[in-house]
Amino acid sequence: EVQLVESGGGLVQPGGSLRLSCTASGFTVSSNYMSWVRQAPGKGLEWVSVIYSGGSTYYADSVKGRFTISRDNSKNTLYLQMNSLRAEDTAVYYCASKYWYDGMDVWGQGTTVTVSS
């Protein structure tokens, strides 16, 4: 079964750091592009970052310089290192991938990040 499972969310103080993980099963994380998408409480979807199969990475302006996307092919896992966290980073974070169809056709269940003192 093709699946993504996120972990690593939690409560963190402003200015703190957190690393999210997204483990894939049924396909390899390096086979196509993988993204992080977040959703603040009661708000819409906001794209955060992407890593392509070749390793190129891109970020939303709102997180550039603070977040880093990476992957470990040996663990078949995608990561999002989040530094200098702000209250406005509070959201459910989803990892998503292009697996078979164009677009993001595989999504994880999401992990919640709360930035608060």
Partner 1 sequence: SYELTQSLSVSVALGQTARITCGGNNIGSKNVHWYQQKPGQAPVLVIYRDSNRPSGIPERFSGSNSGNTATLTITRAQAGDEADYYCQVWDSNTAVFGGGTKLTVL
Q: Is 101 in the site for partner 1 (CB under 8 A)?
A: yes
Compute the 3-state secondary structure of the chain and give helix, strand, coil in percent, each to the nearest 5: 5, 50, 50
Q: Is 105 in the site for partner 1 (CB under 8 A)?
A: yes
DSSP code for 88:
G
Q: Are 4 and 106 in contact (CB under 8 A)?
A: yes
In three-state secondary structure terms, 87 is helix
Task: Name the residue type at position 41.
Answer: P
In three-state secondary structure terms, 89 is helix
Q: Is 1 in the site for partner 1 (CB under 8 A)?
A: no
Q: Is 44 in the site for partner 1 (CB under 8 A)?
A: yes
Binds partner 1 (CB under 8 A): choice among 58, 75, 88, 116 = 58
- Nearer to partner 1 among residue 17 and residue 109 (C-beta): 109
Compute the distance between CA of residue 81 and CA of residue 59 in angstroms, rounded to an integer.
Answer: 12
Binds partner 1 (CB under 8 A): choice among 21, 66, 76, 107 = 107
Q: How far is the CB of 56 from partner 1 (least distance, A)?
A: 8
- Nearer to partner 1 among residue 89 and residue 98 (C-beta): 98
Residue ranges in contact with partner 1 by CB under 8 A:
35, 37, 44-47, 50, 56, 58, 60-61, 94, 96, 100-105, 107-110
